[in-house]
Every structure is written in structure tokens, then in C-alpha cells.
Copies of this chain bind each other. A is one copy, B any other.
Amino acid sequence: MSPAPPGGPAAAGEPDPPAPSHFDEDTAVRREGDVWKATLHPRWNVGNNPNGGYLLAIAVRAMLADAGRDDPLTVTAHYLSPPGEGEVEIRTEVFKPGRTLVNVSAGVIQGGRERVRVLGVFGDLSERAGPTRVSARPPEVPPPDECVSLLDLTRRAGRQVPEVMNRFDLRLPPDSPWGRPGEGDPFEITGWIRFNDGTEPSALSSVAFADAFPPTLLGALAAGWVPTIELTVHVRGRPSPGWLLGTFRTRVLVDGLLEEDGELWDSEGRPVALSRQLAMVLGPPGA
């Protein structure tokens, strides 16, 4: 699609030019001397703190630039202390330059305090060659227009909508077991997801999609808060335009420590990312 001519009115029947992308704008990084700077926008907040996937995407943008590569292959974030909105500094170190793979470390700092530490391996997914065999299958769910908007569900339940949820269009199958699994079932959430402003998915944004679903345990367990301790995302492909299908599952909750294993599938049914996070159940506030 071509944008409308500058200054001219859009021709009748022609779609509006694409709106600026919130994701692209809000993850922008700029070089200042030895460090990178970025500005955390509150529209990605949960309460007063930015969503972890959004924070990770900012660090990864700076790391990609330093690596001189196009794609994250694996990134691991340790969440240390949640920042607020506003400026952050990103200190990066290329600790292993390489012909194909480049390893980079980053610290995201606000108010003199490190908030997130990230390790990543970067490369070019379009230049990779090697065998392919996928035995995993995308989950079977009805198409997006037969699914239920998580935003609508949350509002109808009279529950507060975290600001970050407005950045995504996330749709659950009508019979989703999320929030009410049976005794022997995994805690699980499966659904379609895309940015709500028409931004198409990318290898970079898959690290944000990997942390965009609500916690698998939410509603099913009297947990006030399930903070992420560590999140690792493996990126296997650049997603095709359109919806992503995501599925997140918790099978081993022990003494309040749990994993969330995620898969993201693109609109052509290809697996584009695998994620795993370590999270911790904290009791309801005041408990």
C-alpha cells in the first residue's frame, strides 16, 4: 500500500496511511556518548511500572545496534527493580564479536540503579541455513473473529485494565480454560494477539509479545502478584504479517516458583519464538 501523497487528500476508497507505530516510537533508542538513552512511555505500564516485555524490547534495540545484526536469536532478562516512566540509560557491552553470532550484555539504568540486566545472542535469521523439522503444532483455536477480546472480558468483569493491555488486541477462544483450570490441568492461556494500532509483528517485537499475555495463574490462584524473575526468548523466525497465535503454560509450580513456557506462531503457522520465564507468586497485597 502506498501512503497518500504528501499534503494531498487520500483518494476516495483508499485506506488511511498507517498511523505511527507506538511500539516503534516507544522503543526508540538514541546514542549519547558511551551509552544509549530511551524514554519509557506510560502507555506500556502495569500500574506504575512498564511491562517487562516492553523494557526488554528497548534493551534489545540498543543491543542489535551495537551487534550490527538484524535479529535476536536468544535474549535473557533478569528483572531487578521496576523503573517508572521517563528516561533510562542502557549500558551495553559486546563481549563476543563474531562472524555470524554476536553476544551482547546490557544494563537498563534509571536513577543510578540497574533495573534490568540482559544477555543476548544476535545474528541474521535470513542468512541461516540448516535442517528444519517441527514436531510441535500450533494450538487449535477458532479464528480471531470467533474469539473473545480479553479487554472486553476484563472490563465486563469490572476489573481494572492495565494500561499495557490497550496496546494489544488479544483474543481468547470462547471455551478458554484460562483462570479456571481443573485439578490436574496445567495453568494455561492461549489466544490470538497483535498490536492494536496495526503495527505488524517482527523478530524484535516477538520479545514483547512473549510477555504480553496475562499470567497463566491469574484468576486461578489467590496470587496478588506474579513478578518475573527471569525471561528468556528464543527467536526462530521473522513473523509474517498478521495475527500471532500464542500459548503459555505452567506445569511446575513449586513453593511459589513457576515457569511460563510460551510459543508464538505466525499467520502462516510457523513457530517464530519460544519463551520461558521464571516467576514467583507473591501473596495478595496486605496478606
Contact = CB atoms under 8 A, between A and B. Distances in A.
Interface of A: 73-74, 76, 78, 80-81, 95-96, 101, 103, 105, 107, 114, 117, 119, 121, 125, 128-136, 184-187, 221, 223, 229-230, 232, 234, 236-237, 251-257, 259, 261, 263, 270-271, 274, 276, 278, 280-281
A232 B232 contact: yes
Given A117-B105, A229-B101, A255 B136 contact: no
A232 B157 CA distance: 38
Contacts of A256: 128-132
26 contacts: A74-B229, A76-B76, A76-B119, A78-B96, A78-B103, A80-B96, A105-B117, A121-B230, A129-B256, A130-B281, A131-B253, A131-B281, A132-B255, A133-B187, A134-B251, A135-B186, A136-B251, A230-B232, A232-B276, A234-B257, A234-B259, A236-B254, A236-B257, A237-B254, A252-B271, A259-B274
Main secondary structure of the interface of A (DSSP, over half): strand
Contacts of A237: 254
B73 A257 contact: yes
Contacts of A234: 257, 259, 276, 278
A278 B235 CA distance: 10
A135 to B, nearest CB: 4
A38 B74 CA distance: 28
Contact of A117 (B103, B125, B128, B255): B103
B114 A96 contact: yes
A117 B76 CA distance: 12
Would you list the 4 A-B pairs with minimal beta carbon distance, nearest first?
A130-B256, A136-B251, A128-B255, A236-B254
Contacts of A259: 234, 274
A251 B247 CA distance: 15
A159 to B, nearest CB: 21
A103 to B, nearest CB: 5
B73 A229 contact: yes
A238 to B, nearest CB: 11
Contacts of A252: 134, 136, 236, 263, 271, 274
